[in-house]
Structure 1
Amino acid sequence: KYLHGRKGERAVHIGPLNAPVTMEEIEKVVIECRANNFNKAYVLGWEWSYEVNELAKNLARKNGVDLRLVQIPSVNEIKSLLVGFDLQLLKIRDDVVEKELLKYVKFSEVAYLEIDTKTNGNEVLLKITDFQLAPTAELAEIANKVKDSRELIDYWAIDWNYKGDTFHNQWQSFRVKKNPKVDYEAKHKYEDAGEYQIMVKVIDVFGNDTNKVLKVKIE
């Protein structure tokens, strides 16, 4: 039910299209891995609930499963990467996709993104407190030049009232030559009380996406 395939020695789970991957989902994947004698797994997702990442990996590790979280590129990202190709993606044979197109589309391991959330009346403050990329050859080349791992953020954007479908860019901060660091804090005031979902989208210096969904209650 929760294992959708395998790649090599790893079980594969693909998260829902219109909802974030949750810890409950991860727990069920780990249980099925144990029941089917898998000790390694990939979980692919478009979006991730706020508590998923290190908690998920720790849970899996305690149960003897090596878990890797992988970001699925959005349709718009794939289209932008394949500009110049005259394609109807759903009609292309699998062997052509694997041979010709996958070299342009990256499925990167999800970065560790920690965001501190504070509310004061109708105002919410978000602060990026940590950002860690999975080890890669690209990262190794520049690691000694990076003093604060948050410097690896090229751009981040926020949808302050995310409805679970389209991401609306309502705030953003990006690096420029004069200031090669993004702002690590963002504020927003809500007009009405209630519970809100906030989606944060971070693009690192290698062009990879990390998305996180947060929940806040405004009184």
Structure 2
Amino acid sequence: MWHYQSGGIPESTFARKHDTILYYQKCSHVFNQEGASFPRNICQVCGNTISKWNNLKKQVDENGRIYRTIKSAGKIYKYYDDEPVLLPDVWYDISHIQQKDPQRTGYATQKPEALLDRIIKTSSNEGDLVCDFFGGSGTTAAVAEKLGRRWITCDIGKPASLVMRKRFIDQEVNPFLYQSIGDYQKEAFHNNKKLRRVGDLSQVVLGLFGALPFSPEQVSDRNFGYVKGTRNLVMVDSPNRLTTAATVRRAVEAKASLLGGDWDKVIVLGWNFAFDISQAIEKYKNSNVEVLVIPPDLLDKLSKKGFKKLIADKTVRFSSLQYLVVNPVEVTVNGNGEDELDISLSNYVLLSPDNIPLDDKDKEKLQQVMEQDPLSLIEYWSIDPDYDGDTFRSTWQDYRENVDNDSDPLHCVYSTRLHMPHKAERKVCVKAVDVFGFESQVILDVKC
């Protein structure tokens, strides 16, 4: 149990000033006593020397070790100065994080590093793998890194992911892989029996978009429809998968071939998107393809209101996809034979404010920012100048509030120069996260 003192005095109950630490094991386990012990002559609570202990008479045994004796109930007990005491199962010596503590990240449930330091030292060895599946502010991983442990951490909340990445960058941890996993739309759909009774979800989405389905005799694939009175083809992607470059290619091919082709435009409606979707949009921009976002709260609205009510209300809005635009990389070979890569952001396109849970006043402000200074919405961006197409290894990064690259705490810098060993050609990958947690990725082929 971790006991601490903090502000706040309840009026109708006892003050809750402790957290319970659960300890469990499967098969063999590690328990390092040195990680859970303290010097006998040091107070666990205040850290000061215990005067009562030092007042006891010192004695020296045949090996030169200092010990002291205590008589209790007629028995004499011998205690050595250099023999640590195992901590009790209630810890009083670790304070909660104070308001002005430099390790404070602003994350509500953040724990002090000293607490995780003790837990990790006690229950693992150097080189072991430490996992925290409710990462929060990233304290477990940050401390594991300092103690020479490998680590995996995750959190369902996007704010937690942002806080953790900033923390790891400031700590200058070893290179780490950030991976977005899980499909929340798919989970919501399959866990809701009422939604599954709605019928074919693609047909529902087509109807809410204002499109008509093809008859089975016309097109067997029920993901396709069309906008009445136009030659606009509509394709609804499944909540079971990410909308990727392959999805966009399939839509473009359908535009050219479905029912004889001759469609003016194809519109792709997707739930969740691969990081590189913006590159597919750029690649097929001359094919008259448009990618729109199905509202993330649509499944919830369908569950609460039903299809007919949503059709009548006309409140479902499909919005443009957010994506990053990066200028072509400029390469110069300097006098040392190195490649100097000038990399800069050009634009950031955010999905409609209607798709973000803000009140009307804040949506209006956001719309102004999108029009006047869209790059100010970038919270964090990073670069892998030698991307292998699989694992992203960040070589350079910047984020808002970081003043190492400039003196402005409210904006990222939007350009940088990297010095790299010369290569005839390379792939440069740029990743960005906006203030709402949406992620974008751009891969650029660069010839030097």
Same fold (TM over 0.5): yes
Question: What's the counterpart of residue 185 of structure 1?
Answer: 415
Q: Would you say how many aligned residue pairs link Structure 1 and Structure 2? A: 169
Question: What's the counterpart of residue 391 of structure 2?
Answer: 166
Deviation at 1:141, TM superposition (A): 4.5
Deviation at 1:145, TM superposition (A): 5.2
Which among 109, 123, 130 is matched to residue 347 of structure 2?
Answer: 130
Question: What's the counterpart of residue 368 of structure 2?
Answer: 144
Deviations 1:87-111 (A, max 9, x none): xxxxxxxx9xxx8xxxxxxxx9642
Which among 17, 32, 35 is matched to residue 257 of structure 2?
Answer: 35
Which among 274, 282, 285 is matched to residue 46 of structure 1?
Answer: 274
The residue type equivalent to 2:390 in the other structure is D
Whether the 8 Å contact between 1:124 and 1:187 is mirrored in structure 2 is: yes
Deviation at 1:12, TM superposition (A): 4.3
Higher strand proportion (structure 1 or 2): 1
The residue type equivalent to 1:132 in the other structure is V
CA distance in 2, matches of 1:42, 1:58: 18
The residue type equivalent to 2:343 in the other structure is L
Q: Taking structure 2 as the reference length, what is the TM-score of the superposition?
A: 0.33
Whether the 8 Å contact between 2:278 and 2:324 is mirrored in structure 1 is: no
Whether the 8 Å contact between 1:114 and 1:131 is mirrored in structure 2 is: yes
Deviation at 1:142, TM superposition (A): 2.5
Report the CA distance shift for 1:54/1:6 in structure 2 as closer, same or farther (over 3 A): farther
Deviation at 1:198, TM superposition (A): 1.1
Q: Taking structure 1 as the reference length, what is the TM-score of the superposition?
A: 0.62
The residue type equivalent to 1:211 in the other structure is Q
Larger Rg: 2
Report the CA distance shift for 1:207/1:134 in structure 2 as closer, same or farther (over 3 A): same
Alignment RMSD, CA only? 3.5
CA distance in 1, matches of 2:320, 2:388: 25
Look up the SS of the partner of 2:433 in the other structure.
Answer: strand
**Percent identity over paired residues:** 23
Whether the 8 Å contact between 1:114 and 1:129 is mirrored in structure 2 is: yes
CA distance in 2, matches of 1:69, 1:33: 16
Structure 2 residue runs of 5 or longer lacking an equivalent are 1-199, 207-233, 294-298, 304-318, 334-338, 357-362, 403-407
Report the CA distance shift for 1:211/1:51 in structure 2 as closer, same or farther (over 3 A): closer
Structure 1 residue runs of 5 or longer lacking an equivalent are 62-66, 71-94, 100-107
Report the CA distance shift for 1:162/1:28 in structure 2 as closer, same or farther (over 3 A): same
Look up the SS of the partner of 2:393 in the other structure.
Answer: coil
Look up the SS of the partner of 1:176 in the other structure.
Answer: coil
Look up the SS of the partner of 1:31 in the other structure.
Answer: helix
The residue type equivalent to 2:388 in the other structure is K
Deviation at 1:68, TM superposition (A): 1.0
Question: What's the counterpart of residue 85 of structure 1?
Answer: none
Deviation at 1:126, TM superposition (A): 0.8
Look up the SS of the partner of 1:168 in the other structure.
Answer: coil
Deviations 1:56-88 (A, max 9, x none): 345225xxxxx2166xxxxxxxxxxxxxxxxxx
